[in-house]
Amino acid sequence: MDVQTLTYLARYPLIILCGLFIWPVFRISFSELRYVMRKRATPVQNFFLLAETDHGPKTGSHNDLRGLALYTTTFLGRSKTCDIRLTRKDFSRREAVIYLYDGLWFVRPAHHLSQLKLNGQDVNHPTHLQNKDIISLSDLSFTFIDERVLTDQDQPVAATEPSDKLSDSAVRRLSSARFAVMLFSLSACVLTYLLIPPELKSFRQITAIFLIGCLVLFQVVSLVMKASLKRYDELLTLSSQFLAFTGLMLQIRLAMDTLPRELPETEIASITALLLSDLLPQAASLTAGLLLLPVIAVFTARSRLLEPLSLICVVLTPLLLILTLIFGWGAETHGATLWINIDGLSVQLTELAKISFLIVLASIFKHRPPLRTQLFFAVWAACNMFLIMLLPDLGLVMVLLPTTLIVYVVMTSSYLNAILMLLGSSVLSGLAYSFFPHVQRRLAGWTTLWTEINDNNRQIVYGLQAIARGGLLGRGLGNGSPGGIPLASSDMIFSIVGEELGFLFGVGIVIIFMVFWMRSARTAVIAQDGFSSSLALSAGTLIFFQAFVVITGVTGLLPLTGKTVPLLAKGGSSVVSVFLLIGLLIGLAGRNLGTKRK
């Protein structure tokens, strides 16, 4: 049996393993997200506020009192979205926030003009609450009650995160997911090894050693994080392993497509050297990303240094974009000046800039900031978007804009301002179309996609034809025709997935990115401080939207942007940045959420 027939038959076990992995991972993610969202609406036990009623009979000189439930994050203000609503018109939409953080209760003003006082003293920053503290807003007073002190109990604070112990069904699903991803990774190693011609013996050996080394490294990284973090989100590591081995399998397969049909013995050494030089940056980036993953996760989980870094990131983000604009290259071949040469190594500083952008976004929208701060962020973000368009990097704009909008809406509940942001984005899009020829070419190719084939849409048309040839189950690894698709290993990698692995496998890839978002949303819900919640939501949303924008661009649903599918496509800087984002998500999920009394 030749290799082509073997890979054709291997479609079936690959699809089965894909399903066996995705189904339990999706079930666990969806169930946990639904659970924590329900728990989020449940008051924290043993804690409440005592408030005087505005009406009703009075006994002596004392008003009637009523208890107000406290949630892990409780907003007080005039808005209908507040947990404790103050109906008087002299109050702002949000006046104060009471929240649980690391097992302790804090109160802080919601804006700089808040009338908040604690025990008669003005409060301008988060202040620790103790039993019978009096919180004042204008002439209204609330008494913070800790029933554990009154009853002399010492039970832990009931936070909203799920138990560290999974249910029996979830444990079984997680075990099956581990088993399926391990079998899939081994199958990818074997198929990749078989696709390499036997004449390239040394390259075969190097590839086999690297693939097995990656598999071992994933297991070591997982064990390190499991031992270092009390709450380790293993689903994120398993999902990244599935994507990484799919990407390695595709990249090595595409490298084999560049080989001549006949391999003269005199050229074996030069061909091997050429293949190694082509694949080495991707392999090095994957290794570096894996080594950084536990470092970032543990650093994020055990320290609170990310938020202070936001001040540095305010300057760092535009600085990285300006450096790219000045020293970048690649416009002749890629249409954008995004690459910078450092000692012969090409890097994209924009990948680091998007992470620093998220840190600033999370720091500012950790709660509803005052209008002055929102305007500052709007101007700062607009300047960064303008610099990005000058590169030009349409894909990064299309990823950062929806991420910013979603984080803004979730963290502020200001829907009217969100609509205004959408209108502003539409105006900026029109201006970008008028001033940037690169944007005009992208849109021209997209709008003529179904009427003609031209230089602006040829890439998408060939990609769609490849996906159509693949059908539901694909043609088998190595049996496709990627040679005619421009940038098949980077921008158009999803078309190779569709042609050789099939439509069903492609749907599975989409579901995995949905899992990334659900895990980030779960972390955002259970996080006990606004910065952790906002950063988790923004990181997961960015990963999802980057995949969404690329996949919809390849399939013709949106204009093609030039971004890459995370962990699948060729691009060392992108691989490292995705692992950094995953490390942030794992670290934020593993933070001490405060389940014991201090």
User: Per-residue pLDDT for the chain (598 aa), expressed as one digit of tens each?
Assistant: 788 899 999 999 999 999 999 999 999 999 999 988 887 777 888 899 998 765 444 444 445 678 898 887 788 988 887 889 888 888 888 888 887 766 788 898 877 778 899 999 999 888 999 999 999 998 889 999 988 876 655 454 444 444 455 677 888 999 999 999 999 999 999 999 999 998 899 999 999 999 999 999 999 999 999 999 988 999 999 999 999 999 999 999 999 988 887 788 778 888 899 999 889 989 999 999 999 999 999 999 988 888 889 999 999 999 999 998 888 776 554 556 677 877 667 788 899 999 999 999 999 998 778 778 888 999 999 899 989 888 878 888 889 999 999 999 888 877 777 888 888 778 777 777 777 777 788 888 888 888 888 888 888 899 999 999 999 999 999 898 888 888 888 889 999 999 999 999 999 999 999 999 999 999 998 887 788 889 999 999 999 999 999 999 999 888 887 788 999 998 888 999 999 999 999 999 988 543 333 3
CA distance 580 to 338: 19
Q: What is the tally of helices (H) and strands (E) in the chain?
A: 19, 13
| Residue pair 110/126 in contact by the 8 Å Cβ criterion | no
Asked if CATH classification 2.60.200.20 holds for the domain at 47-53+65-150, the reply, yes or no, is yes
In terms of DSSP bridges, do strands 345-347 and 340-342 run parallel, antiparallel, or are they unpaired? Answer: antiparallel
The pTM score is 0.86
| Residue pair 433/441 in contact by the 8 Å Cβ criterion | no
Structure tokens at 42: 């449940």
The alpha carbon of residue 258 and the mean position of all alpha carbons in its chain are separated, in whole angstroms, by: 34
Cite the residue boundaries of each domain of the chain with CATH code 2.60.200.20. Answer: 47-53+65-150
CA distance 315 to 420: 26
Residue 392: CA count within 13 A, CB half-sphere:
16
Name residue 397's amino acid: V
Structure tokens at 526: 């259970």
- In this predicted structure, what is the pLDDT of residue 421? 81
- In this predicted structure, what is the pLDDT of residue 493? 93
Dihedral sign computed on CA atoms, order 452, 454, 456, 462? positive
CA distance 415 to 431: 24
Residue 113: CA count within 13 A, CB half-sphere:
10
- In this predicted structure, what is the pLDDT of residue 297? 95
Structure tokens at 366: 């950790």
| Residue pair 241/293 in contact by the 8 Å Cβ criterion | no
